[in-house]
Amino acid sequence: VENGDNCSRHTHINDMSIKLNFEPHAALVGGGILGVATVGKLLLTGRILGISGALKGVVENGDLSPWRLSFLGGLVAAGVVDGMWDPNQIAEPGVSLAKTVLAGLLVGAGSGMGNGCTSGHGICGNSRFSPRSMAYTGIFMMSGFIVASVFNTNGDLGINSDFSAIENMVTPAAETLTRWLSIAGAATLGFLGIGQVASAASKKNDGDKTKLHKTLDAITEALAGFTFGLGLTVSGMRRAAKVSGFLSATRASFDPSLMLVMGGAMALSIPGFAIANKKKAPACTREFSIPKNRKIDDKLMLGGVLFGAGWGLAGLCPGPAIVSMAARPTQKLAAWIVSVLGGMWIQKYIP
């Protein structure tokens, strides 16, 4: 077991190769932070937390609603803050530019066709036991496993596939763990405070929503985006190498950390959705906007295959890429994000 102070939280590179470490504490706490953001957004605004969905609305319909811009702005702010906290963070090697662009197109088209990604389906959909989300998640996971293994994404990212991540677990220093828990605590208090103000305003207006509620809605979205972005950093999901290590399940370097990220997020999101089902309306808006479609169709399944293929090819998905671009912009990240937007636009014309 290695102490987290002995290596960077962003990368552990020895002998010109990346050596992955199993990081259960970071994964669980980071996942918990993602769960706090998901539940806070749900109970206050009534919307599920889906990053590809937020982007798709802009690309397909030119929707620049205040809530959408506030949420995406919060993600960007999280990256900027992380870049300030750790200005010396190292950019790990990425796949080739050609693979980066292809991966972005696949992720964009797949998330557009399937109406979701690792956040909207993976966390929110599975937490409310949606058959569509369960099917989509299973398909994109399998597709990601296959593509990462067949195309040797570990090799492209410079990962030492013979170094056992599980046997080299990293535990964070007490100070680091305290900082992570403080993020979760501060965000929780922020959401609770907004809820109290919104509730008091509703009582004064016989339950009606006011301009103040619209302002609180935007603030909630910004806080949710910011909190979720920090959770992506803490959990390790921003690291393409970490994702590839998880998807390359047959290698000695297999890193199960991402399973704990999902578990930590869903541990809060499942009861959060149960609470939402018992509420008449969220605190800041008039109604819940939770998808009710339960149909598992060909478009959903193809979307899962494409999204998983893109995820496995480069180890990136929308949220982590946006936060990383704000923290430490690179040409490949920019190319990937533009390609995702292009893929979302192209999939509009797929019947």
Q: Kindly report the pTM of this predicted structure.
A: 0.93
Q: Is the pLDDT of residue 315 over 60?
A: yes
Q: How many Å from the N-terminal Cα to the C-terminal Cα in the chain?
A: 52
Q: Is the pLDDT of residue 12 over 90?
A: no
Could you report the per-residue pLDDT of 145-181, keeping only the tens digit for each?
999 999 999 999 999 999 999 999 999 999 999 999 9
- Give the pLDDT of residue 85: 84
- Give the pLDDT of residue 66: 95
- Give the pLDDT of residue 16: 57
With bands split at pLDDT 50, 70 and 90, how would you rate the model's confidence at 6? very low
CB-CB contact of 253 with 20 (8 Å):
yes
The token duo for 3 is: 């102490």
E strands present in the chain? 2-3, 13-14, 17-18, 170-171
pLDDT > 90 in the chain, percent: 86
- Give the pLDDT of residue 89: 64
Q: Is the pLDDT of residue 317 over 70?
A: yes
Q: Is the pLDDT of residue 184 over 90?
A: yes
Could you report the per-residue pLDDT of 17-73, keeping only the tens digit for each?
899 999 999 999 999 999 999 999 999 999 999 999 999 999 988 999 999 999 999
What's the whole-number mean pLDDT along residues 198-220? 92
Nearest to 346 by CA among 118, 106, 58, 72: 106
For the chain, domain boundaries: 2-349
Could you report the per-residue pLDDT of 97-124, keeping only the tens digit for each?
999 999 999 999 999 999 989 999 999 9
Measured CA to CA, the distance from residue 164 to residue 119 in angstroms comes to 28
Nearest to 139 by CA among 307, 269, 4: 307
Could you report the per-residue pLDDT of 252-308, keeping only the tens digit for each?
999 999 999 999 999 999 999 999 999 999 999 999 999 988 899 999 999 999 999
